[in-house]
């Protein structure tokens, strides 16, 4: 790596290292199911303003817009047109980091002009204690960075974790680990043998496939992830929509959690402001709609529209 620490034009500098060489290989050999899952968690958690007509979702701000806007721009997209778009972009970005790592850690820095800068800190080797945070530099980067660790005070960090309702940080990490451990093509010996030989060990793909689907569903039960499976080989249409509702509700829980964490960030930064997203279904409303759907009171077409990404 040529850059050791993140710098902004205004010469702000983080005390923790933001990029290790090991991060580059994150996608190599990654389990497809794990990859799909973490992609789905953040996708459409808030509307895509650039692709769709403006949805009804609205950000309500209690506080000074001028103070809030630079923070949101720092987290999200600089080109956002209004506060709603800024907040939605910020939520989506934070959710992406969360989905990837189960915990999003940002170091709060200030540039020469005193503007707040937020740098994403990799989770690898990061130990957060009540008063300080210890970052152990991976061995392969120690020579390059010429140090073994970094220590900063915890009040320089803004940490967002997966809410407990969705398994918490450790639960989420364990779930990802479990997903990554199993390949849906088959066990290692089968993947190795299958292209070149017959099947002398009695491996049964149907049995394995069914058990794997059950395993993945149980692992992601708190999220109600649908495994991107639309084949209905093991499920009915009703079950599929049931999962969609559940997953959408989980996303809403995560979204509201991130918004509340952004409000906490404002408070850390001494900004007297509070935001919330309205005119979009809450998790409770989605779960209620799911029950109605199961009773046949909501047609499938409408139910799917309610579960659509970014609605």
Which residues of this chain interact with other proteins, rule CB under 8 A? 178, 182, 184-189, 191, 194-195, 201-205, 208-215, 217-219, 221, 228-229, 231-239, 242, 294-296, 299-301
Q: Rounded distance, CA 261 to CA 157, Å? A: 12
Nearer to other proteins (CB atom), residue 178 or residue 276: 178
User: Rounded to the nearest whole angstrom, what is the least distance from the CB of residue 193 to other proteins in the complex?
Assistant: 9
User: Rounded to the nearest whole angstrom, what is the least distance from the CB of residue 32 to other proteins in the complex?
Assistant: 8
Nearer to other proteins (CB atom), residue 46 or residue 220: 220
User: Rounded to the nearest whole angstrom, what is the least distance from the CB of residue 198 to other proteins in the complex?
Assistant: 12
Q: Rounded distance, CA 277 to CA 58, Å? A: 6
Nearer to other proteins (CB atom), residue 151 or residue 211: 211
User: Rounded to the nearest whole angstrom, what is the least distance from the CB of residue 239 to other proteins in the complex?
Assistant: 5
Nearer to other proteins (CB atom), residue 41 or residue 241: 241
User: Rounded to the nearest whole angstrom, what is the least distance from the CB of residue 230 to other proteins in the complex?
Assistant: 9
User: Rounded to the nearest whole angstrom, what is the least distance from the CB of residue 44 to other proteins in the complex?
Assistant: 21
Nearer to other proteins (CB atom), residue 13 or residue 229: 229
Nearer to other proteins (CB atom), residue 123 or residue 209: 209
Q: Rounded distance, CA 18 to CA 222, Å? A: 31
Nearer to other proteins (CB atom), residue 9 or residue 296: 296
Instruction: Give DSSP secondary structure letters for the chain.
Output: ---SS-B-TT--B-SS----GGGGGTTTT--HHHHHHHHHHHTTSS--TTTS---S-EEEEES-HHHHHHHHHHHS-TT--SHHHHHHHHHHHHHHHHHHHSEEEEEEEE-TT--EEEEEE-STTEEE-SSEEEEEPPHHHHHHHT-SEEEEEGGGEEEEE--GGGTHHHHHHHHHHHHHH--TT--HHHHHHTTTS--TT---HHHHHHHHHHHHHHHTTTTT--TT--S-SSS-HHHHHHHHHHHHHHHHHHHHHHHHHHHHHHHHTT---EEEEESS--HHHHHHHHHHHHTTSS-HHHHHHHTSTT-
* Cβ atoms of 286 and 248 closer than 8 Å: yes
User: Rounded to the nearest whole angstrom, what is the least distance from the CB of residue 40 to other proteins in the complex?
Assistant: 15
Q: What are 288's two structure tokens?
A: 């209620």
Nearer to other proteins (CB atom), residue 77 or residue 229: 229
Q: Rounded distance, CA 138 to CA 144, Å? A: 10
User: Rounded to the nearest whole angstrom, what is the least distance from the CB of residue 211 to other proteins in the complex?
Assistant: 6
């Amino acid at each position: 790596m040529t850059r050791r620490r993140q710098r902004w034009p205004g010469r702000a500098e983080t005390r923790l290292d933001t990029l290790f060489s090991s991060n580059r290989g994150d996608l190599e050999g990654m389990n497809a199911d794990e990859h799909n899952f973490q992609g789905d968690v953040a996708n459409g958690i808030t509307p895509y303003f650039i692709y769709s007509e403006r949805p009804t979702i609205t950000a309500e701000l209690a506080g000074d817009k001028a103070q809030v806007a630079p923070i949101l721009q720092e987290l999200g997209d600089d080109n956002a047109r209004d506060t709603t778009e800024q907040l939605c972009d910020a939520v989506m970005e934070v959710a992406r980091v969360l989905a990837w790592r189960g915990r999003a850690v940002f170091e709060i820095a200030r540039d020469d002009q005193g503007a707040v800068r937020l740098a994403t800190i990799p989770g690898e080797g990061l130990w957060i204690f009540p008063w300080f945070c210890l970052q152990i530099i991976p061995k392969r980067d120690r020579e390059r960075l010429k140090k073994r660790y970094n220590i900063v005070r915890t009040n320089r960090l803004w940490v967002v974790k997966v809410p407990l309702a969705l398994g918490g940080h450790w639960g989420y990490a364990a779930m990802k680990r479990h997903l990554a451990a199993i390949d849906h093509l088959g066990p290692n010996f089968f993947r190795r043998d299958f292209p070149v030989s017959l099947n002398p060990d009695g491996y049964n793909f149907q049995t394995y496939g069914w058990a794997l689907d059950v395993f993945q569903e149980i692992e992601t039960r708190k999220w109600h992830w649908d495994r991107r499976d639309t084949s209905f080989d093991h499920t009915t249409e009703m079950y599929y929509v049931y999962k969609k509702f559940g997953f959408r509700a989980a996303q809403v829980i995560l979204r509201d959690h991130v918004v509340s964490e952004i409000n906490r960030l404002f408070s850390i930064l001494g900004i007297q402001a509070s935001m919330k997203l309205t005119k979009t279904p809450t998790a409770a409303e989605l779960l209620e709609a799911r029950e109605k759907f199961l009773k046949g009171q909501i047609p499938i077409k409408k139910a799917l529209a309610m579960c659509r990404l970014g609605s």
